[in-house]
Amino acid sequence: MDFVNDEKFAAKVRNFAAVTNEDIEQLKELLKGLDISTELMENLIQPFGREIDFTNMSSSVDGENNG
């Protein structure tokens, strides 16, 4: 994450709501998880601007490729 430091992060969070230090720690962990999951999803999605290759995609809800 691109936070300068914990004190600035805490100050920004406290601008939005009255929170405890424990709340801030939980929020930091939540944001770290969100950052990681977003990066993983980004790696799974083909970039825009390129043609999508449908031959490797599943053709059923169960993930079977019947094509």
63 sits in the region (left: phi over 0; alpha: psi -120 to 50; else beta) called left
Give the global pTM: 0.55
Q: How many residues in total does the chain contain?
A: 67
Contacts with 31 (C-beta within 8 Å, 6 or more apart), sequence order: 1
Which is higher by pLDDT, 2 or 53? Answer: 53
Q: What is the pLDDT of residue 22?
A: 95
Q: How confident is the model at residue 63 (pLDDT cuts 50, 70, 90)?
A: low
Q: What is the pLDDT of residues 14-62, one digit of tens each?
A: 999 999 999 999 999 999 999 999 888 888 876 666 676 677 766 666 6
Please give the Cα distance from 22 to 20 (Å, whole number): 5
